[in-house]
Chains A and B, each alone.
Chain A
């Protein structure tokens, strides 16, 4: 019996799919196809992926459902590009596929009217995937050519994975599914709910012991409503852990028939609803964004040392968030499990006293030098080890609960062996025998009255195309560490060490209070589209109340 505890991932919304696409690409890049490797990989890919069969071929696809508006798929078929209808193409490769289909229809051919939309051309990157095996050498200007997530999709999905909302169309500059309550309405459409829930059920039926769900969703538009409804359903039907990542994109669109000010208000209310309802229906949630402020004026891009990303590029920012999710989620998808490392435990350790909201921090790449040992690095390092990627969240070093994951540091980089140790011997940390132990000690010294869970994984984050590795600056060597000697030329980065933390502390009360103050000022009557989509005044009052109650969980009390 395998010990795999499966996780199902749900993505709602366009930006969530950006992040998701990067996430799955990274997963697929970390597969090891080399049969000679002796040790099994540290990461258990069966947690996120499923094995399937299609015409006698074994497939390995993410256990994932994504949701987006009509038109966002572009040249990708709704059934995905993996399980295509091979039989038709094979029978008669010269003939136009369309004509063949028409011949199979049992209807007077003269009375068939073909309404064909213009064929959407594939991007160069996608075409190269179809043609040859991936080689990292070719250069695609993905940074500027990517318009939507299919443009850099490397992983192929199961046909079940892709869900498209017919009623709302994708536009480049406006977003059509506008309010939280419109999202609720969409879910309440019986066909939608039946279809979607059935797909979740089919995934979970395949799982022997599923440990729970990860949901990634856009928290500022109508997709938040769909996501929340879905979580409500999951809680009701499966009672398993739900870890949620509400996202705020770094580039926002205005809503249909609304100017910037109106759009800001709508975003704010959607966001408030997301947070309030997450406190009820999720096990734990970590808001993510590469922006510092997230309520009314989404702005101030976060700065990360050693890399320069384009602050309004969705393709760039989503890769940062995805690398965070990828790394922090290692906690519950390693092969070597102690019974502790499951999603349920992870959530339970972080959400004490109902403090279900956490902040995320990342350090991409982990700023260690090529020849340095961890012990030296930690000794010398001054400043913030990680940067926050949760909007309006500022967590210090006092009274925090945190989960830290460091990946990409092999054991040999811990410290020098005894005979060469020299000065290192004098440091207290020299007695530590593992990376996690040393980090544990580091956090004990650097935080006050706090609790840290630390995990260290040897394998680094693989950065292959289509990961936007161009944003690492010239100080980074190809193995992801800082170069000892400066060089003007950028290295071709292949992998990077990365450290992430999920943190909880009473300081989050400020975040929630701040949100509450902002939302309280909104006059809902001035935004008729909320009541148009079925939102009652009472519900809005309840929302404000719920936010306050949630905030109180974070207020200083005798425990922490």
Chain B
């Protein structure tokens, strides 16, 4: 009898073997749900809510978020996988699969009497060894378009159909290459704005080398399209408002009061005049034009004044767009107009407005050296846009990871095949029962190529044997060609994974799996247990 039941007779508990089987069953359960997702030939999941909301995804992370996971063990695994996504942006499905498989393999040995402690020690050794193998296998890459395309394509094809994936690959790679500095360091992904338009079809998604904003000018007389435009980005209120604090003015007569009100308004008008003066100085008599993009508000009076001068003015720009605009078209985001000069302004070849339903979009394009770009996603409906958005985020992350790592790992399951072989060799050098655990670890790794094979409609044992034979003979990494089911050389086909993704998977999966294995008692003695 567990000690807890002496203290709290209502407590529920599960001990030793029972506790272990609870954990293993849960991890197998979540593995089963996610298994079919893996790889470019996995199933697409379509989630329909009770009200008919549709969500389409192939991304393990999105799926985990959508499912309400109640089981504590399963939710622990789900959290590990979410963490994987936070850190690397990919590999969530693999994480779930590998944790499940590590536990499954361990179960066999534990049933035969091997102590979980020995298995966890073996797993930990195997992890270190696997990391070494991973390091040996990594291929330093030059940062060029082709290599980046390879990695982005591999990531995106697991999430979208090939045609769209290839299109987005180019979009993502171009986006990063445009804003990348010369030192090949990873970029700030916030500088890639992602904008969605419910319109046309997914294949109309494009990269805009400039900024797209989801609002337009609010005055009917303002120009809808300007060329050779100076861009003034600012965070200065052009809105008359009474101040919040009790700052009432004191007056004796009605005229005096009117006068005060006018004086307050005058203050705002002067600000607007400053902009207009600058515009007159720079643009009048030339073919240049003037655009004001303000983070604060612009009231109808001020808009009127600006419209009369042919200035296009946008109010309430996104805070982050202030930074992006300055990077895209140059200039500075101003906080006051006190000594406003030409060098504070940015410049764009063309600025135009596009109206779609009740939303206006403003494009700022043709910038000289854009350091910030926009990916304009299009799709006929919400769920397509959502799917593209998730995919684009992952694609960008994959490219950025490559810039960080400066190396890649051959994909298509080749790492797992290779590591399996090497670990088996290594196991032979180990004395004692730990050897069994290392073997178990090596076998667990094979879950990735096995699942890839099954999802593509091939026999898993057949495929694995073929791959292993080929790998033993070849010095190159050998992976699985999903269209034929035959071994292939992923390096030649341009299938690559991120180094950091694999590294993270090995680390986190081993840690979670060993933690779960060492659990020998589960108890629930909360005050309102079993609810929810």
Contacts and interface: CB of A to CB of B under 8 A. Distances in A.
Interface string A79-112: 1000001001000000001100110111100011
Contact of A240 (B240, B241, B357): B241
Contact of B532 (A174, A202, A240): A174
Given A105-B56, A107-B161, A113 B46 contact: yes
Contacts of A239: 244
Contacts of A174: 531-532
B532 A256 contact: yes
Given A201-B316, A259-B528, A342-B242, A117 B48 contact: yes
Contacts of B163: 106
9 contacts: A54-B358, A75-B51, A111-B41, A112-B43, A204-B316, A206-B218, A256-B531, A257-B529, A345-B242
A116 B528 CA distance: 31
B215 to A, nearest CB: 5
A208 B44 contact: no
Given A54-B358, A240-B244, A258-B528, A116 B48 contact: yes
Given A208-B300, A239-B244, 20 more contacts: A52-B358, A77-B51, A104-B381, A105-B56, A107-B161, A113-B44, A114-B48, A115-B46, A174-B531, A176-B532, A201-B316, A202-B214, A202-B215, A205-B218, A209-B297, A209-B299, A240-B244, A258-B527, A259-B528, A339-B261
Q: Please report whether the interface of chain B is mostly helix, strand, loop or mixed according to DSSP.
A: loop
B241 A209 contact: yes
Contacts of A208: 218, 299-300
A111 B48 CA distance: 16
A115 B315 CA distance: 43
Nearest first, the 10 closest Cβ-Cβ pairs linking A and B are A205-B316, A120-B50, A116-B48, A259-B527, A53-B358, A111-B43, A106-B161, A113-B43, A257-B526, A52-B358
A208 B304 CA distance: 12
Task: Give the interface size class of chain B.
Answer: 35 or more
Interface in B288-313: 297, 299-301
A30 interface: no
B500 to A, nearest CB: 20
Contact of B52 (A97, A105, A111): A97
A348 B241 CA distance: 14
Interface in B498-532: 526-529, 531-532
Nearest to A345: B242
A198 B53 contact: no
Given A97-B52, A237-B319, A240-B241, A205 B532 contact: no
Interface of A: 1, 52-55, 70, 73-79, 85, 88, 97-98, 101-102, 104-107, 111-120, 166-167, 169, 171, 174, 176, 198, 201-202, 204-210, 237, 239-241, 254, 256-259, 262, 283, 339, 342, 344-345, 347-348, 352
B318 interface: yes
A198 B52 contact: no
B147 interface: no
A133 B346 CA distance: 54
B511 to A, nearest CB: 21
Contacts of B161: 106-107
A502 to B, nearest CB: 17
A344 to B, nearest CB: 6
Contacts of A98: 48, 54
A259 B529 CA distance: 10
A113 B45 contact: yes
Contacts of B299: 208-209
Given A104-B380, A352-B246, A120 B43 contact: no
B339 interface: no
A119 B316 contact: no
Contact of A115 (B48, B50, B301): B48
Candidate in B50, B218, B245, B248 with the most chain A CB atoms within 10 angstroms = B50
B44 A105 contact: yes
Interface string B235-270: 000011110111010000000000001000000000
Contact of B44 (A55, A111, A119, A241): A111
A90 to B, nearest CB: 14
Contact of B531 (A70, A74, A204, A257): A257
Given A166-B65, A205-B316, A352-B246, A74 B46 contact: no
B53 A77 contact: yes
A114 B239 contact: no
B39 to A, nearest CB: 11
B66 A166 contact: yes
B382 A79 contact: yes
B286 interface: no
A114 B46 contact: yes
Contacts of B301: 1
